[in-house]
Structure 1
């Protein structure tokens, strides 16, 4: 008895869902998202996105929602500013999944760059 390749099985499931969904704007079911993220342990992201016909951004977003990068107990380490010349920054970040983060106060550009890099990873 042969076992089916997990990527092929999920590709078939995605095709079935696409054929039977109510509209093109219907969100991908969580079970399919979770299975796609689970395949990252065995396949490259490019192979998964190609087979499932999804974007790399979608897969990354699904991975972050299934396995969040930062738990509430982790911190982003920012550099300590030694510059005496500081500027006031007000930044609002709006994420694709709907969350918003507001940052305001006096800080130097290097701290903001470090924070943005940490958020993107």
Structure 2
């Protein structure tokens, strides 16, 4: 989501002012990373840059057009950067920006929570 769309969406928010104070930052985060594959893409880019085809192979259920859309939105949000090499055949690489790297702290906490949650689920079975 680009900045103008985010600002517009937030300005049209129907939440009461008191709720906005409590939820606005969480809501903005959710709107920035919403999308079926954005968190997966960020996580896959955590170690190194990847070419489009690499990401496509690593996420077998994603369509080419949806991967393109998710990468563009992450780029517009400033979490991912795209580098185009002037070679034949064309080469494009994606990597995390500084802002994207800072989001990895959140993802690491999410990973820890997911591991604990999965262990709880498995221990109940």
TM-score w.r.t. length of structure 1: 0.29
Higher relative contact order (CA 8 A, sep 6+): 2
| Larger Cα-atom Rg | 1
Structure with more helix by fraction? 2
TM-score w.r.t. length of structure 2: 0.28
